[in-house]
Amino acid sequence: MWKVVRFAASRSRQFSTAIPWPCKVHKRGTDILHDPWFNKDTGFPLTERDRLGLRGLLPPRVISFEHQYDRFMDSYRSLEKNTQGQSDKFVSLSKWRILNRLHDRNETLYYRVLIDNIKEFAPIIYTPTVGLVCENYSGLFRRPRGMYFSAKDRGEMMSMIYNWPADEVDMIVLTDGSRILGLGDLGVQGIGIPIGKLDMYVAAAGINPRKILPVMLDVGTNNETLLKDPLCE
């Protein structure tokens, strides 16, 4: 079961990519590249590529974290330029997508980007854009985040929590999706709210991203549009 740990935020928190102790990695090869927590993209030095079975799985040039950061911001600025004149909804979802792709690939870089640009990106990862994301979540879904509990799991919930990969959880944000930002009942698509809110807590309050847990309590939906949508299950 999760350990409950008290958290005290530091007012002078500094983001650092340095780890003050060895990071134990039990994965190798593509398993590391597919894990956004450990993945550094092309930032793995040659010594790590040899030790972790990554040589040949990445382009040979080693790209520093700072260079990757600048490259992402350049891509984001290009997106802003290329979507000028488009509808606000289209632009907001396009910005959310590029950030979400980074989140799926490299969490360290993702949170660095958020922390350094929190005023700019807060409206994208949370309100008001998260409302659009929840309304369209079935079409935007790429990989699962958080945990889902439903009536089908009755009698199994205690054992289910051991499926979560982290031993300690400092913060949980839970929703049943029945009342999402004035949009009404969005059912399981409301998971976007806990995800976005916890990302805000990480970026603005210093919560450890490895110790957060978005939770969806799936009690179904009465939304006729969602019930008729074949993508919503």
Domain locations in the chain as residue ranges:
64-228
Spot the catalytic one: 197, 201, 211, 228. 197
Q: How far apart are CA 191 and CA 174, in angstroms?
A: 8
What is the per-residue pLDDT across 54-68, written as a single tens digit (0 to 9) for each?
999 999 999 999 999
Six-digit token string for 11: 């007012």
- The backbone region for 8, taken as left when phi is positive above 0, alpha when psi lies in -120 to 50, beta otherwise, is beta
* CA 126 to the chain's CA centroid: 12
Share of the chain above pLDDT 70, in %: 89
Share of the chain above pLDDT 90, in %: 70
From the number of C-beta atoms within 10 Å of its C-beta (0-12, 13-18, 19+), residue 79 rates as: middle
CATH topology of domain 64-228: Rossmann fold (3.40.50)
- Whether 197 is catalytic is yes
pTM of the model: 0.85
- Whether 89 is catalytic is no
Tell me, what amino acid is at 25? V
Q: Is 179 annotated as a binding residue?
A: yes
Lowest mean pLDDT of 79-88, 112-121, 162-171, name the range.
162-171
Q: To the nearest 10°, the Cα dihedral for 143, 144, 145, 150?
A: 160
Spot the catalytic one: 76, 126, 137, 211. 126
Mean pLDDT within 153-167: 92
Averaged pLDDT of the chain: 88
